[in-house]
Structure 1
Amino acid sequence: MPVRRAKHAGSWYSDSGSDLSRQLDNWLNQADLTHGPARAIIAPHAGYQYCGPCGGHAYRQISPVVVKRIFILGPSHHVRLSGCALSGAQKYKTPLYDLAIDTAVNSELEMTGQFEWMDLDTDENEHSIEMHLPYVAKVMENFKNQFTVVPILVGSLSPDREACYGRILSSYLADPKNLFIISSDFCHWGHRFRYTYYDRTYGNIYQSIEGLDRVGMNIIENLDPTEFTNYLKKYGNTICGRHPIGILLQAIQELLRNDSTQNATLKFLKYAQSSKCRTMNDSSVSYAAAALVLE
Structure 2
Amino acid sequence: MSTRETSVAGQFYPADPNEIEAMFEHYNKILDEHIKDNDILQLKPRAVIVPHAGYVYSGFTANIALRLLGNTDCKRVVVIGPSHRVALRGTSISEYDSYETPLGSLPVDKALVSELKERFGLMFMPEAHQEHSTEVQIPFIKTYEPDVSVVELVYGDEYPANLAEVIEYLLEDPDTAVVISTDLSHYYDIKKANSLDNICLNAVKKLSTVELHQGCEACGKIGVEAMLTAAKKSGLKSILLDYRTSADASGDESQVVGYMSAAFIPN
> TM-score, normalized by length of structure 1?
0.81
Q: Give the equivalent residue in structure 1 for 2:221.
A: 242
Does structure 2 conserve the Cα–Cα contact (< 8 Å) formed by 1:28 and 1:59?
Answer: no
Query: Which of 253, 257, 271 is 2:243 aligned to?
Result: 271
Query: Alpha-carbon deviations, 1:254-283, whole Å to 9, x = none?
Result: 324xxxxxxx221211111112665xxx32
Q: Give the equivalent residue in structure 2 for 1:2.
A: 2
Q: Give the equivalent residue in structure 2 for 1:197.
A: none
Q: Give the equivalent residue in structure 1 for 2:13.
A: 13
Does structure 2 conserve the Cα–Cα contact (< 8 Å) formed by 1:166 and 1:254?
Answer: no
**What are the equivalent positions in structure 2 for 1:253-272 lying under 5 Å apart?**
253-256=232-235, 264-272=236-244
Query: Which of 214, 217, 231 is 2:201 aligned to?
Result: 217
Secondary structure of 2:184's counterpart equals: coil
Does structure 2 conserve the Cα–Cα contact (< 8 Å) formed by 1:269 and 1:291?
Answer: yes
Query: Alpha-carbon deviations, 1:91-115, whole Å to 9, x = none?
Result: 1110111011111111111112431
Q: Assess, with a 3 A threshold, how the Cα gap between structure 1 residues 294 and 24 changes in structure 2: closer, same or farther.
A: same
Does structure 1 conserve the Cα–Cα contact (< 8 Å) formed by 2:99 and 2:106?
Answer: yes
Residue identity opposite 2:75 in structure 1: K
Does structure 1 conserve the Cα–Cα contact (< 8 Å) formed by 2:231 and 2:264?
Answer: no
Q: Give the equivalent residue in structure 2 for 1:132.
A: 137
Give the percent of matched residue pairs that are identical in Structure 1 and Structure 2.
27
Q: Distance in 1 between matches of 2:133 and 2:220?
A: 9
Q: Assess, with a 3 A threshold, how the Cα gap between structure 1 residues 107 and 287 changes in structure 2: closer, same or farther.
A: same
Gaps of 5+ in 2: none
Does structure 2 conserve the Cα–Cα contact (< 8 Å) formed by 1:45 and 1:184?
Answer: yes
Secondary structure of 1:61's counterpart equals: helix
Q: Give the equivalent residue in structure 1 for 2:128.
A: 122
Could you tell me how far 1:64 is from its partner in structure 2?
Answer: 4.5
Q: Assess, with a 3 A threshold, how the Cα gap between structure 1 residues 54 and 169 changes in structure 2: closer, same or farther.
A: closer
Secondary structure of 1:116's counterpart equals: coil
Q: Give the equivalent residue in structure 1 for 2:157.
A: 156
Q: Distance in 2 between matches of 1:177 and 1:221?
A: 25
Q: Give the equivalent residue in structure 2 for 1:194.
A: none
Does structure 1 conserve the Cα–Cα contact (< 8 Å) formed by 2:67 and 2:140?
Answer: no
Stretch of structure 1 that moved more, 128-137 or 219-228: 219-228
Does structure 2 conserve the Cα–Cα contact (< 8 Å) formed by 1:171 and 1:255?
Answer: no
Query: Alpha-carbon deviations, 1:161-202, whole Å to 9, x = none?
Result: 211221233132132221111111111024xxxxxxxxxxxx
Residue identity opposite 2:156 in structure 1: G
Q: Aligned residues, how many?
A: 257
Residue identity opposite 1:140 in structure 2: E
Query: Alpha-carbon deviations, 1:11-45, whole Å to 9, x = none?
Result: 22111112211211221342245161111111111
Q: Distance in 2 between matches of 1:66 and 1:27?
A: 23
Could you tell me how far 1:61 is from its partner in structure 2?
Answer: 2.2
Q: Distance in 1 between matches of 2:265 and 2:58?
A: 23
Aligned-CA RMSD value: 1.9
Could you tell me how far 1:286 is from its partner in structure 2?
Answer: 0.8
Does structure 2 conserve the Cα–Cα contact (< 8 Å) formed by 1:74 and 1:241?
Answer: yes
Q: Distance in 2 between matches of 1:218 and 1:288?
A: 11
**What are the equivalent positions in structure 2 for 1:1-295 lying under 5 Å apart?**
1-31=1-31, 32=35, 34=40, 36-119=43-126, 121-124=127-130, 126-141=131-146, 144=147, 147-157=148-158, 161-190=159-188, 205-228=189-212, 230-231=213-214, 235=215, 237-256=216-235, 264-275=236-247, 282-295=254-267
Q: Distance in 1 between matches of 2:104 and 2:145?
A: 11
Q: Distance in 1 between matches of 2:59 and 2:238?
A: 21
Q: Distance in 2 between matches of 1:269 and 1:89?
A: 32
Secondary structure of 2:178's counterpart equals: strand
Q: Assess, with a 3 A threshold, how the Cα gap between structure 1 residues 17 and 63 changes in structure 2: closer, same or farther.
A: closer
